[in-house]
Every structure is written in structure tokens, then in C-alpha cells.
Amino acid sequence: MRSNNFTVVGLQWGDEGKGKIVDALARTTDYVVRFCGGANAGHTVVVDGNRFAMHLIPCGMLHNGVRNVIGNGVAFDPVVATEEIAWLHDQGVVLGPDNLYISSAANVVMPWHKLADSLSEKNLGTSKIGTTARGIGPCYADKARRSTAIRAGDLTEADLLREKVARIAALKNKTLKALYGAKPLDGEAVAAQYIELGRQLAPMICNTGTILRRAIAEGKRILFEGGQGSMLDVDHGTYPFVTSSSVTACGVPTGAGVPPNAVGQVLGLVKAYTSRVGAGPFPTEQDNETGMYLRERGHEYGTTTGRPRRCGWFDAFAVTYAADISGVNELALSLLDVLAGLKEINICTGYRIGDKQLESFDPAVMADASCMYETLPGWDDDITGCRTFDALPDAAKNYVNRIEQLVSRPVGFISVGPDRAQTIRHKTQIQGLD
Ligand code: IMP
């Protein structure tokens, strides 16, 4: 049986513009599901000039009738979630038990996770990972450790939560003091705060896996919304400079509690260039005027942290690797408008180590790799008003076509600006779009 569903994943280091495309596709779906990451993600959607910056709430919430799921694979921060729900409420978007479901099995980000994240980074000095300091890594570490984890379901049971927080806070206070000389957290105050958050969120906390599997059996359409980008995947990315969850399409089944054949068609999001936040290898990085040009034109500053992003050329070798891992059917190319004004545009087609060309991609060697570039002509025209492929200047068409050839996938969508309307539907085969 062919799945009705589809999955959107980033194929670079995150910030590929997933929010906008998920929002555009969400209106054709019944459910939008987050399966990885947490409040480290920053998905921006612009509707009629209004900017919505979401971190934890799935992007389907901007469409009436779409149900939004925070899956078990998410590192769930109830502080951010309640703030985001309240903010959206003020914007006229109402979220409640009818359209937001939070997995009771999602692991909760606690105050000691955030503290450990920033103290660990500080302690690492120049070896730091450059995390978002949202407590993501320590939360997933506790998930794997089990005895020191708190799940969203625990938030709804006040007595159990009080007992767990008292035990875990005592332990964390000892460890954080021994490791970093940290001041102790007040366990009782933490318990009181999280019991109150649990009271507010309880109507939405449930077994989301059961809901999704039932929806699949009923033939409903589900969109799985990836966070971060494949090169930040804990297994397949530029380890250790990665995030701590499975962000490729392979993360969907475990992170949402659905069978692998529910992943459906996979749309791989790529920027027309590359950006990266935080430390780690980035072979096509342009730490020069070109990088600055891309950063300023692309507003390349983190949605979550405000940090300036490192910018560089499109890396077709790395993108093909990421597309292969997720079984990507088609690409969505974002921020093509940003490239306007460059005389020439480079695309990385392969790597060399010394004078030897690599036959296959391996993220472990990226730090030592030098890039093989192909140079294409740029264009000057402002393309933000283009609504069809034919309306693009020849050099831009040529660039898109070359990416398709190098990555061996069709480009389904092209984004030429932040607004919903600034999207060119090109070769998409995703079913159900009119
Ligand atoms: P963490 O996820 O906060 O632990 O950060 C680990 C690495 O992933 C750092 O390099 C972050 O900058 C990066 N990262 C995490 N989430 C995102 C995202 O949504 N976009 C881009 N980079 C991210």
C-alpha cells in the first residue's frame, strides 16, 4: 500500500526553511508531527507579513483543522511549550486538546539540563560543541540513562513528580557542584513549577503513538516535520558536532511511534547555499566577503539563539549523502533569491584529501577535506516576485538544473522569499496538492 503521508527533513545543518514549506504543505494534511529535537529548533513562518517563530509547536497549527503532535522522540520543554501556546493564543491561534497532542513518553527538559548544557560548554572552552544551551543533550543523556529521566506523562501526576524531582534534583545538585562548582537548584521550587506546568498541559498529554497508528489505519494524511538538519544527526552527522537526536527520516518511526512504511514520500529541504551554527567542520564555508554577503542577504542569524550563522557554498556531495540516508524523493530549494548579485556561484561536487579524490562521502573526514568546485554564472535580477520556473533568469534556472543533476533528485519546490506566496511549485510529485 502506498502511504498517504510525507516527511520533510533538512539535508544540511538545519535552518533550511522547513517551517515555510511545512506550513505550505500542512493545509493538505490531517496531522503534523514533530519526531525529533526540541526547543533547539526554530521554524519561521511568515503569513501575510506576520512572522511566527516556533520552537516546539508543530507548524501545522497555523491551519484550522490540522492536528499537531509532539512525538515521543522530542525533548519536551514545558516552559517553552506553555509560553509558545500563550503567545500563539495572543496572535489568535488557539491550541488545545482538540488540536495539540503531546506524547506522554516524550522526555522532559528540566532546569538542571539547561544548566548542565551551558556549564559543560563553558568548561569545554575551545572544544565546545556550540549548542543552543536549551538542555537538549543532557535531556537525551538522561533518557538513555533512564533512572534520572522525567517524561511528560509524569508531569500530570503531582505526587510522583514531587518525589522524582526531589530525588533527581539532589543527585544533579551533587554532580553539578562537583563538576562545575554550580550553586544548587531548589528542588521544591522546581517541583512546584513543573506540577503547575503539568496542570496546564495535562489535557494535551496523551499516548500519541496510538493516535497516529489509528490515524494511519483510517487513511488519514500525516506530515512528519523534521527539526535541525541531517548533518546534525546524532548517528549520521558530523559527530561530535551534532545534536542528540535522530533527525533524518530514519528517526520518524521511533520518534513518532509509527511503522517505517508510514514515512511516505520524503521531501529534502536544502538552502541554495549552506549555513551552519555552532562548531564543527564545514568544508564549503566562506569566511570572507562572500560569506558575509550571504549572511546579510539571507538574514542568517539563529531563530533560537540569534547567533550569526556561518555561510558557504552549496555542497552537492554532502547533500547527496544526506538525501540517500533519508531516501529523499524530491528536493525543496529555499532562499534562491539570496544568491542574486553574485557574479559567479560555486557548487561543491566532491572532496579531496591531499590529492586523492574521495569516492564516497564520509562525515568523519570532512574536517580534512578540500572541496572540488564547479563555477556557474550568477544573476543580478531580483527574483522575489517570480512565481513560475520560466520566470526565473536563465542563470538561476541553470543553477537549479545543475543541483538536480548532481543530487540525482528533482527539485519539487523553489522558495524565493519568506512569505507563503513566494513559492514556485516546480516538479513536485507529492500527492494531494492542487
Ligand atoms: P544542541 O542541539 O543545542 O545540543 O546543539 C548541537 C548543535 O546543533 C549545535 O551546533 C547547534 O547550533 C546545532 N543546532 C541545534 N538545533 C539547530 C537548529 O534547529 N538549526 C541549526 N542548528 C541547530
pLDDT, one tens digit per residue, over 175-194 is 999 999 999 999 999 999 99
Distance from Cα 243 to the centre of ligand 1, integer Å: 6
Taking CA atoms only, the protein residue closest to ligand 1 atom 11 is 131
Per-residue model confidence (pLDDT) at position 1: 46
Q: Is the CB of 17 under 6 A from ligand 1?
A: no
Distance from Cα 2 to the centre of ligand 1, integer Å: 33
Q: Probe ligand 1: pick from 228, 239, 242, 244, max atoms within 8 Å of CB? A: 228
Distance CA 367, CA 332 (A): 27
Per-residue model confidence (pLDDT) at position 191: 98
Q: Is the CB of 265 under 6 A from ligand 1?
A: no
Which atom of ligand 1 lies closest to the CA of 132? 3
Considering the chain, what percentage of its residues have pLDDT values greater than 70? 99
Which atom of ligand 1 lies closest to the CA of 15? 20
Q: Is the CB of 346 under 6 A from ligand 1?
A: no
Per-residue model confidence (pLDDT) at position 42: 78
Per-residue model confidence (pLDDT) at position 432: 65
Distance CA 430, CA 420 (A): 18
Which atom of ligand 1 lies closest to the CA of 136? 4
Residue-averaged pLDDT of the chain:
95
What parts of the chain have a pLDDT lower than 50? 1
Task: Give the residue carrying C-alpha cell 490515524.
Answer: 215
Per-residue model confidence (pLDDT) at position 433: 66
- Its sign, for the CA torsion 274, 292, 367, 41, is negative
Active site residues: 15, 43
Taking CA atoms only, the protein residue closest to ligand 1 atom 10 is 278
Per-residue model confidence (pLDDT) at position 306: 83
